[in-house]
Amino acid sequence: MSQISRRQFLRMFAAGSGALTLQQFLAACGLKPSNLTPSATMQLSPTHTAQATTHAEIEAATSTTAPTAMPVSAPHLAVARGSDPETIVRRALAAFGGMEKFVPKDARVIIKPNICVAYHTYEYAATTNPWVVGALVKTCLEAGARSVQVLDYPFGGTPQEAYTKSGIEEQVAAAGGEMIFMPDFKFVSADIPQGVDLKKTQAFGDVLQADVLIDVPIAKHHSLARLTLGMKNLMGIIKNRSSIHANLGQRIADLTSLFHPTLTVIDAMRILMDNGPTGGDLNDVKQMDTVIVSPDIVAADSFAATLFGLSPEELDYIRAASAMGLGRSDLNNLKIEEIAQ
């Protein structure tokens, strides 16, 4: 049986396949389903395999209650519009049954916004809206998360300057979360088993060990990738980002297969139409008052591309990720719930 991480297990359970997945896993380990309740969750590190896992290890891995399965009527994608970020984040999440559908009780959650530079406030649409991030911290804690940490790896200014200037640090603290830095010693070598072109990278270890990863990019223009959206935002949790720029589209998709966020929330309150990723001119900013929420990062990015007048097929990383089976870009065949404030 292939390797399965705790986060992968929780994602499958949240999608409604938890009971079947658990029975298959136990059968592979030679255990009976009666040893565990249907809500039990695996806490296996990426280095554990099903064959090597002992009965004691599985019993020790069941301290976190899995998220409940989403209702059958849940959409693939929720798009909420309105002027108040927290309100529309909550309404988008409600379409799936709330944040508790993605965050199990006692879970360790990491939220990854885009805080790329320390030069501008959020109005310039180069960094994620701080109230969107704050709303996610609140809803994770309300769902019973043990901890909610927020991080990024800025390339303009110091991390502390960027965290403060963006306004995200203030909103995270007010919501009860914790901003953390990304020191070099915490990056670890990670294989990318599904990678087509990129087979290994130096990834931030805390992200790999988290129970839940929530990806919160701002939708903005990018001079090389055309757009920074959910998948492109994952470059902020690896050490050598310059290595990704060769064969950029495929390598972004390869990274997505490694991190595969539990949830993607695209901030389109204000989007940067040109001169990204750093921006600096308010004339390049378009107010959209929109958030896009999906457990399918490819679907989220595909819808966000349309805000810029692009089809999903026009972005290399969406095409590559769709071809790898990492999500769906066929918007016409997806159930999309659009919500007005």
pLDDT exceeds 50 at position 44: no
| pLDDT tier, 53 (very low <50, low <70, confident <90, very high otherwise) | very low
- Assigned token pair, 237: 């949790």
Q: What is the mean pLDDT of the segment spanning 87-94? A: 98
Alpha-helical segments (H) within 3-129: 6-12, 18-29, 55-60, 85-94
Q: What is the mean pLDDT of the segment spanning 10-28? A: 43
The reported pLDDT for the residue numbered 64 is: 53
User: Taking each helix axis from N to C terminus, what angle separates 168-175 and 159-166, rounded to the nearest 10 degrees?
Assistant: 70
Q: What is the mean pLDDT of the segment spanning 57-75? A: 62
Could you tell me which residue, 249 or 3, shows the higher pLDDT? 249
pLDDT exceeds 80 at position 160: yes
Beta-bridge mates of residue 215: 112, 264
The reported pLDDT for the residue numbered 57 is: 38
Q: What is the mean pLDDT of the segment spanning 178-205? A: 97
For CATH 3.40.50.11440, list the domain ranges present in the chain: 77-340
Distance CA 341, CA 127 (A): 23
The reported pLDDT for the residue numbered 14 is: 52
The reported pLDDT for the residue numbered 27 is: 37
Q: What is the mean pLDDT of the segment spanning 22-45? A: 35
3.40.50.2000, 3.40.50.11440, 3.40.50.11600, 3.20.20.140: CATH of 77-340: 3.40.50.11440
> Of 264, 233, 251, 241, whose CA–CA distance to 320 is shortest?
251
**What burial class does residue 251 get, using C-beta atoms within 10 Å of its C-beta: 0-12 exposed, 13-18 middle, 19+ buried?**
buried
Structure confidence by residue, pLDDT tens digits, 104-143: 999 999 999 999 899 889 999 999 999 999 999 999 999 9
- Assigned token pair, 278: 């750093």
pTM, two decimals, is 0.83
Whether the Cβ atoms of residue 137 and residue 148 lie closer than 8 Å to each other: yes
Q: What does residue 46 show for φ and ψ, rounded to 5 degrees?
A: -60, -15
